[in-house]
């Protein structure tokens, strides 16, 4: 109702939709006062529906409302415990909620209870998770890694290099895990997973760029995918890989800086040489060209995901990859950055996502605290 009011310029209809949203929120809050009710699937569904409203129909140019809904829904999910998702409805809501929570973990560089062993296994029982959910597992692990790095005291020159070396090993192992996941995705998906298309295709094609305004800055042919689900999971993979690659590069730089500045003899000379060689190799592997390619790949996936035929789901699933690409492209300004900024503007003006402009302005941190200094 609110969306229809916005599309048709019908403010009374939009206001009526907001009234029903406020009423639904009040009813849900009252219901949660009963301990038995929190275990009902319809309460879980109501909480999820309100979070979707907060994502698409924010009344202010801010994601604070959505973050609040996701945090509240997280409390409800946690109270239910990992064994109460045996119904198709409950499990499907949990799986969608995991994606939103994974984004929050990366955004705030925090771990989540959903990354704990019980929550990684019990809800799916013997059936196990699909390949999409296993990517989210790796996202939770990345959030926990970033939190650990932020909380580590790196001011002690005697231990700084060894601590950084330990984190570099964890990052490298995680990067290999991401690569292994991608190989699994390729094996389970139609071939090819994506392909290059011409940018001047007919207007009714799902591969047409979002609008001419955004495509004005498009310098490379866009990608097309078999399905929207494969499009956003691939773009999410590129985003997570980009964040991890940036973290590895910054950690390598910090190790080299620390080693050259320290006069400590606490590290065996042979190990120091090996660490220096490994660091230079990884720094070369995760340099600017690698990260620019990942950011550009994300941008090339946007014309498919943001086409009108993909509805609001395509836009919603594009926000996280777009944010990762924007952070990278700001460090290497060019036509791709202009393209990314134009897409953000159109998410607000054409898709009605009022907070898109705020997301584009955030100075998000994808590097461990203190390593960039």
Task: Delimit the domains of the chain by residue range.
Answer: 32-151, 154-373
Provide the pLDDT confidence category of residue 148 given band limits of 50, 70 and 90: very high
**Mean pLDDT taken over the chain:** 82
Higher pLDDT, residue 134 or 346 = 134
pLDDT at 24: 73
H-state helical runs in the chain:
2-7, 11-31, 41-56, 64-80, 88-108, 117-121, 131-151, 157-188, 212-215, 228-261, 269-285, 288-305, 311-329, 335-349, 356-361
Cα 328 to Cα 319: distance, rounded to the nearest angstrom:
15
User: What is the rounded distance in angstroms from the CA atom of residue 367 to the CA atom of residue 247?
Assistant: 5
In sequence order, the 6+-apart residues with CB closer than 8 A to the CB of 307 are 205, 206, 207, 208, 209, 210, 314
Mean pLDDT of 87-112: 94
256-283 mean pLDDT = 72
Q: How confident is the model at residue 31 (pLDDT cuts 50, 70, 90)?
A: confident
pLDDT in tens, 314-365: 988 998 999 999 989 988 888 888 888 888 888 877 777 766 766 666 554 4
DSSP state of 352: -
Please provide residue 224's backbone torsions phi and psi, each rounded to the nearest 5 degrees. -125, 160
pLDDT at residue number 115? 96
186 versus 218: which is more confidently predicted?
186
Cβ pair 203, 303 in contact under 8 A? no
Looking at the DSSP bridge assignments, the partners of residue 328 are: none
> Please, which pLDDT band fits residue 206 given cuts at 50, 70 and 90?
very low
User: Between 354 and 52, where is the model more confident?
Assistant: 52
The reported pLDDT for the residue numbered 369 is 33
User: What does the pLDDT read at residue 342?
Assistant: 86
pLDDT at 125: 92
């Amino acid at each position: 109702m609110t969306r229809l009011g916005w599309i048709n310029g019908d403010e009374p209809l939009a206001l009526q939709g907001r009234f029903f949203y406020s009423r639904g929120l009040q009813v849900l809050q009252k219901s949660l006062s009963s301990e038995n009710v929190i275990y009902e699937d319809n309460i879980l569904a109501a909480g999820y529906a309100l979070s979707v409203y907060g994502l698409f129909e924010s009344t202010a140019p801010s994601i604070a409302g959505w973050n609040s809904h996701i945090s509240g829904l997280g409390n409800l999910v946690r109270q239910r415990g990992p064994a109460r998702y045996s119904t198709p409805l409950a499990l499907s809501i949990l799986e969608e909620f995991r994606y939103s929570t994974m984004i929050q973990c990366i955004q705030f560089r925090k771990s989540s209870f959903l990354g704990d062993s019980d929550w990684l296994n019990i809800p799916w029982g013997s059936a196990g998770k699909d390949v999409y959910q296993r990517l989210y597992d790796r996202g939770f692990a990345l959030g926990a890694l970033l939190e650990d790095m932020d909380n580590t005291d790196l001011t002690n020159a005697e231990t700084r290099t060894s601590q950084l070396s330990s984190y570099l090993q964890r990052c490298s192992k995680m990067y290999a895990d991401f690569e292994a996941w991608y190989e699994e995705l390729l094996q389970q998906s139609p071939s090819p997973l994506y392909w290059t298309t011409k940018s001047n295709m007919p207007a009714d094609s799902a591969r047409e760029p979002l609008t001419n305004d955004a495509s004005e800055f498009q310098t490379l042919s866009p990608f097309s995918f078999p399905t929207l689900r494969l499009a956003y999971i691939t773009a999410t993979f590129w985003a997570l890989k980009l964040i991890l690659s940036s973290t590895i590069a910054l950690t390598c730089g910090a190790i080299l800086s620390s080693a050259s500045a320290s006069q400590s003899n606490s590290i065996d000379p042979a190990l120091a040489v090996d660490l220096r060689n490994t660091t230079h190799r990884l720094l070369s592997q995760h340099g600017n060209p690698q990260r620019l390619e990942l950011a550009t790949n994300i941008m090339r996936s946007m014309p498919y995901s943001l086409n009108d035929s993909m509805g609001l789901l395509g836009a919603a699933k594009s926000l996280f990859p777009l944010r990762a690409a924007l952070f990278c492209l700001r460090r290497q300004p060019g036509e791709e950055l202009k393209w990314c900024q134009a897409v953000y503007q159109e998410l607000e003006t054409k898709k009605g996502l009022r907070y898109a402009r705020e997301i584009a302005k955030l100075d998000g941190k994808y590097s461990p605290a203190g390593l960039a200094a």
